[in-house]
Structures are given as structure tokens and as C-alpha cells.
Amino acid sequence: MELFLIFIGAVFVNNFVLVRFLGICPFMGVSKQTETALGMGAATTFVMVVTAALTWLLQWYVLEPFGLPFLQTPVFILVIASMVQLVEMFLHKTSPGLYRALGIYLPLITTNCAVLGFSLIAVQGAYSFIQSLIFGLGAGIGFTIALMLMAGIREELRFADVPKPLAGTGIAFIIAGLLSLAFSGFAGLV
Amino acid sequence: MLSTSLISLISMGMLGAVLAGGLVVASKKFAVETDPKVDEIEEVLPGANCGACGYAGCRAFAEAAAGEKAPVDGCPVGGSKVAALVAKILGMEPVEGANRKVAQVLCKGGHAEAKLFAEWNGPRDCRIAQSTQNGSFKGCSYGCLGLGTCVEACPFDAMYMDDNGLPVVIEEKCTGCGMCVRACPRDIIVLAEEPQGVHIRCRSLALGKDVRGVCSVGCIACRRCEKECPVDAITVEDNLARIDYDKCINCRKCVAVCPVNTIEYQEGKPVLKKRRAS
């Protein structure tokens, strides 16, 4: 039951993009089309889950026993960067179309503060291995849901009469704010 | 016991080595073969990813050209210059280029000339208006809906909507890619090869009196232009006069006799051009 609550918490109640305000760069940058948004979300989820496993192992079997908790940030970043490189190579081979569509945002998953943020939060919360995995899965899925919502809305916005000064990024940020307001309705659910 | 800094050094070093090793293995396993010619061709293409060649962007055309599936002159935007470069990269003979094509909007019925039966408050997209209600807010069922889908489709910013609700083509910027032609749900835009300067700006197949009822500049098929044309380039069929651009010599005689000012002549085009060999 606790695992399910962690999952729901990560996906809705404390959604990484709309409630914690992490990972806003790809949220704004890749949310123009639903196909690319889905691809980006899937790639980020994969990175998060694998990172969850590796960082948990490193934190509790290498850093703590050897008395190196201060190395947390660089070690986590090292792991995240390697995982992102792996995902890049994998996508370049299996889905060149998606690889090109994501463009620069694929290597930018490395600097996506949602990924580092989630691993640091998992470590602070002293989650068990399985709990970290589920937390990572939930974080990734929540990120994907936020991205898909935004992409769907922005696709509709193309035909709307947006005032010139707000066109593009301006209206996107306003929409993001409204989405955040909506998601704050989940507070107290878990 | 080893000092903290030494332990950090060793552990970080080992971690780095392990991860780097894993990535090296992965890079061999996931290696992607790319033909260097594809990159070279992509370099010389305009890079607008407009799709006029019929492929999904410039990279796709480069791949097709390198695989000898697409013709060297398949890029209408790049024209003969790009065709020659692509041919050189592939070690082939350059091809003779044609005159560039420019988009022409064949409707003059804007807010001032054409009647509107209703106000459109739906999404500002001509295709949506046409597919949901046949664009019937506009009196003429063949005329320009004025919602700007063509302008948005232009990858070169060569079009804009004027105050009269009609799209305007900036000829200097137009590359003849044809995206606006594809975007218009009423097939009002056509590509005409330079230096064609005379155009009948109407597409209405309705009877003359019905056209008059909804538009002051629509073609009424009076046939005066057909009779006047010295080279028989104009035919009137289905209540609409059409110019055969291959025969037209830009003499402008039809412009003078049209009673409803449907035919227009663009200044600056050579008055008499050589007739194309048929």
C-alpha cells in the first residue's frame, strides 16, 4: 500500500513539474507536439528509473560506508550523465526520427533538475531500493503527464486568437501556471 | 586508514572508469552507420524543411538523393544552384534548371469586394472552416476565406494577410515550394513560372449572375477576354475564364477588356515574352 501511495504522490500530489517546479526547461521546450512530448517523457522516465537504482546503490553501499556523503552531487550527476548518453545512443539507433525531433533537449535531460532533484529527495527520504524505484517511475510518469497535457493544449492554441505580445512562450507560461493551480487541488490527497 | 581525499579520489576514479567503460561498450553496440555524402548534401540544401521535395525535411531528401532515389533537382526551393551542387557531390552531371515559380493567389474577393453571410468565430484556420461548415460564412463558396492558413504554412515568411482579408505574396521571398498551395482548402493558390505577369484572380465556377450577387470582382464568364486574346491563351469553361500560362505572352489585352477587373497585371514583368515551344 505504501508503494502505491508513494507512486500517486510522485505522479499527482507532488508532481515534479507542476508542483515542485523542477524540469521546466524541457517542459517548455518539448511541449509543442504530443508525439515529441511523449518521446521526451519516455526517455526521461527511463533515465529516472535507472538513476534511481544506481544512485541508491551508490549512496548506501559506497558513499555512506566510506564516509563520503559530501560526494553525493558529483556522483549522482556522473551517473545521470552516463545514463543520458546511453539513452541517446539507444535512440539514435532505434528511432532516428525521435532522436532528431528531440534535438538538443535529449542531452539536456542531464541538466534536467527534475532528475537530480528526484534522486536527492529519494536519498533524503531514506527510501528503500524498491521505494526509490517506484518513486522514480512515478516522477517520470508525472513528468510525462504534465508534458502531454501541455503539448495537447499548445497544439490547440495554434488556431486560437492569442494576443500578439503573448504569442508563443508568454501564453505557454500562463497556461503552465493555470495547470499548476489545478494540480494544487491534489494537496492533501496522500 | 586512508585519508578521506584519497578515498574520494579512488572511488570517484573507479566509478568514472566503470561508467566510461560501459559507455564505450554501448557505443560499439549502438553504432549508427552514416553515409558522409548524406551530410555533405544536407549542407548545401536550404535547410527550411519545407517538404516541397516530397520528403520529410531536408535530411530525408539528402538521404534519398544519396541513395539515388530522388532526382538531383528535386529541391524546388534551391533551384538550379542547389541541383548543380548536389550533382557535383554525387559525381554526376549538373541539370538544366527551369525558371523559378512564384505563388499566385487567385482571388480578389476581400472584405471590400465579397459578401460575408456571417461572422466566423471558430478557430482561425481555413481548413477547419472548410471541413466543418464548407466555409459558408463567406458568400462565395469558391473564394478566399481569409483566415490565414496559407500565411502560417509558408516556411519562408513570404506571405502576409492584408487589411482586406486577402493573402499577399512577397514575390522576392517566395521560393515556389508550394506549401501554401497545399494548405489552401479551396485551391485558390497556384504556382506560376516567372515571368508570368497576367493572372485571372477568380476561381468561382458559379453562374455569372450568382457571382455578381456575392462578389464585385468575380469572373462572370462574359468571354470578352477569350475573344480578345491574340494567342488563344484564355479558355472559358464551367463559368470561369482560365489562362494557359504556357501560351500567355503578357500582352495585357485581356486586362483592358475585363468588365469586372478580375484580370490583373503585375508591374515590372516583361510585356512581351517569347512564346514557349509546345
Domain ranges of chain B: 36-89, 99-194, 195-278
Closest residue by Cα to residue B144 from B210, B202, B207: B202
Determine the average pLDDT of the residues in B126-148. Answer: 93
B4 touches chain A (CB under 8 A): yes
B151 touches chain A (CB under 8 A): no
Nearest to B124 among A71, A74, A161 (CB): A161
- Percentage of the residues of chain A whose pLDDT score is greater than 90: 32
pLDDT value of residue B234: 94
Query: Closest chain A residue to B60 measured between Cα atoms?
Result: A97
Determine the average pLDDT of the residues in B122-149. Answer: 93
Task: Give the model's confidence band at B161: pLDDT under 50 very low, under 70 low, under 90 confident, else very high.
Answer: very high
Q: Which of A52-56, A62-66, B29-33, B78-82 has the highest mean predicted lDDT (pLDDT)?
A: A52-56
Query: Closest chain A residue to B21 measured between Cα atoms?
Result: A82
Which runs of consecutive H residues, i.e. helices, occur in chain A?
Answer: 2-8, 24-29, 34-58, 72-94, 96-102, 113-124, 129-157, 169-183
- Percentage of the residues of chain A whose pLDDT score is greater than 70: 100
Question: What does the domain layout of chain A look like in residue ranges?
Answer: 2-185
Determine the average pLDDT of the residues in A136-144. Answer: 94
pLDDT value of residue B266: 85
Task: List the single best residue of B9, B15, B130 to mutate versus A (max A Cβ within 10 A).
Answer: B15
Question: A67 vs B11: CB contact, 8 Å cut-off?
Answer: no
Are B182 and B153 contacting, i.e. CB atoms less than 8 angstroms apart? yes
Any idea what DSSP says for residue A71? G
Question: B4 vs A82: CB contact, 8 Å cut-off?
Answer: no
Residue with cell 576514479: B13
Task: Give the model's confidence band at B276: pLDDT under 50 very low, under 70 low, under 90 confident, else very high.
Answer: low
| pTM for the full predicted model | 0.68
Residues of B within 8 A of A76 (CB-CB) are none
B270 touches chain A (CB under 8 A): no
Question: A68 vs B27: CB contact, 8 Å cut-off?
Answer: no
B9 touches chain A (CB under 8 A): no
Nearest to A89 among B19, B20, B27 (CB): B27
What is the nearest CA distance from B123 to chain A, expressed in angstroms? Answer: 5
Count Cβ–Cβ pairs < 8 Å, chain A vs chain B. 50
Q: What is the pLDDT of residues A10-44, one digit of tens each?
A: 999 999 999 999 988 888 888 888 888 898 898 89
Q: What is the pLDDT of residues B209-222, one digit of tens each?
A: 999 999 999 999 99
Residue type, A122: A
Query: Looking at the predicted structure, is the pLDDT value of residue B278 above 50?
Result: no
Query: Looking at the predicted structure, is the pLDDT value of residue B100 above 90?
Result: no
Q: Do domains B36-89 and B195-278 have the same CATH topology?
A: no
Half-sphere exposure of B236 (CA within 13 A, CB side): 17
Q: Could you write out the DSSP letters of every residue in A45-66?
A: HHHHHHHHHHHHHHIIIIITTT
Mean pLDDT is lowest, of A75-89, A129-143, B49-63, B130-144, for B49-63
Query: Closest chain B residue to A94 measured between Cα atoms?
Result: B30
Q: Is the dihedral of CA A147, A153, A154, A155 positive or negative?
A: positive
Mean pLDDT is lowest, of A110-114, A147-151, A180-184, for A110-114
B195-278 sits in which CATH class? alpha beta
pLDDT value of residue B96: 57
ipTM for this prediction: 0.73
Grid cell of A153 as nine digits? 493544449
Residues of A within 8 A of B23 (CB-CB) are 82, 85-86
Question: A68 vs B11: CB contact, 8 Å cut-off?
Answer: yes
Query: Looking at the predicted structure, is the pLDDT value of residue B275 above 80?
Result: no
B127 touches chain A (CB under 8 A): no
Query: Looking at the predicted structure, is the pLDDT value of residue A145 above 70?
Result: yes
Are B59 and B42 contacting, i.e. CB atoms less than 8 angstroms apart? yes
CATH architecture classification, B36-89: Orthogonal Bundle (1.10)
Average predicted confidence (pLDDT) for chain B: 87
Q: What is the pLDDT of residues B47-99, one digit of tens each?
A: 877 777 877 778 888 888 888 788 777 888 887 788 888 888 887 766 555 67
What is the nearest CA distance from B265 to chain A, expressed in angstroms? Answer: 34
pLDDT value of residue A113: 86
B31 touches chain A (CB under 8 A): yes
Strand, coil or helix: A15: coil
Question: A160 vs B124: CB contact, 8 Å cut-off?
Answer: yes
Determine the CATH number of domain B99-194.
Answer: 3.30.70.20
B123 touches chain A (CB under 8 A): yes
Nearest to A82 among B8, B22, B128 (CB): B22
